[in-house]
Amino acid sequence: METLRIALLGAGTVGSGFVKLLDEHRGRFRALGLEPALTGILVRDPRKPRPGWVPEGLLTTDVGRVFEEVDVVVELMGGTERAGRLVLDALGQGLPVITANKALLAERWEELKPHAMEGLLYYEASVMAGTPVIEPLSGVLRGNRTLELHGILNGSTNYVIGRMEDGLGFAEALAEAQAKGFVEEDPFLDVGGIDAAHKLTVLARLAVDPDFSWEEVRAATRGIQELTREQIFEAEAEGKRIRLVASLVPNGGRWKASVRPVKLLADHPLAQAAQARNALLYRGDAVGEVLISGGGAGSAVTASAVVGDLLRMLEGYPGHPPLPEPVPVPDYEPEILEEA
């Protein structure tokens, strides 16, 4: 049995979930002739309380210890600076990297793109957690001309809005989401729409343009922090539901990306996404309308995609490639969503 040496960066919500699932799926790795073993777990503070299944003896602040004799790097620490340096260093050594870091992918893509083109970068968990959208957009759906896509890409804000529909105020609903571990360490990343904007940027590079601008998406982003119960109830009286939706549509001969709260008819496919769940509505010229919906927040659901990418790598599949070049903008009238 050959040892698979894994360097884990980060032991927060998703990182600790990955440690647990890695052990639970050990038999699947052994079926491939491999025994998974963590070389170390890089953290900021080894003394911070963590779930009992995270081995304290592997927690370290020593980068050299974690990267010594490693076969694959799993980056779940988040952020763009330190995580970026470590990821780029690993990729520069020819090591495959599995990440859930949508901010890093969105904001430092110019540096990461060459490695993604080589197949060294795996990032299914970066968008919609364990619900697969990266693989379809980088695979089977490329047999279509993309016409438009709309998504609920942040399960945290969907949870907050859902609890506001139940009668809670914004602050109370947010506190509950934080207590359940659905919200980022900086809540503005979620409620300000930044998390969804990061994810939309990743999807745009898979669907329409490998160099789609993060700054352009960021400039067209508005969150839910000013949303009130009165707005929620007024929308319900109109037979509608408010959701934070990320959209990529043709507009005036170019692709337009935006994130904002919108009013959806109650029977709209995206309006059906329940609390803490995500959904992507894709329209292509050949396949028509495709709806992908599932869990989009939480430790286990995100970690499941990381384990899936690890197994994908071991089975010989390359990482997720962006488009080789931009696709033509279609002459197409997209769905118009009413902003809230």
Active-site residue set:
199
15 is an annotated ligand-binding site residue? yes
d(CA 60, CA 50): 13
Q: What is the DSSP string of 152-167?
A: E--HHHHHHHHHHHTT
Residue among 18, 231, 218 at smallest CA distance from 102? 218
Q: How far apart are the first and last CA of the chain?
A: 57
324's CB contacts (< 8 A; 6+ apart) are: 210
d(CA 62, CA 222): 39
Between the alpha carbon of residue 81 and those of residues 75, 84, 87, the distances in Å are 13, 5, 10
Helix (H, G, I), strand (E, B) or coil at 269: helix
13 is an annotated ligand-binding site residue? yes
11 is an annotated ligand-binding site residue? yes
Q: Percent helix, strand and coil across the chain, each rounded to 5? A: 40, 25, 35
- Locate all alpha helices (DSSP H) within the chain, ordered by sequence: 13-24, 26-30, 63-67, 82-92, 102-107, 109-117, 134-138, 155-165, 170-179, 187-191, 194-207, 214-219, 229-237, 299-314
d(CA 294, CA 279): 6
94 is an annotated ligand-binding site residue? no
245 is an annotated ligand-binding site residue? no
d(CA 279, CA 132): 10
10 is an annotated ligand-binding site residue? yes
14 is an annotated ligand-binding site residue? yes
Binding residues: 10-15, 102, 184
Binding residues for L-homoserine: 184
Binding residues for NADP(+): 10-15
Binding residues for NADPH: 102
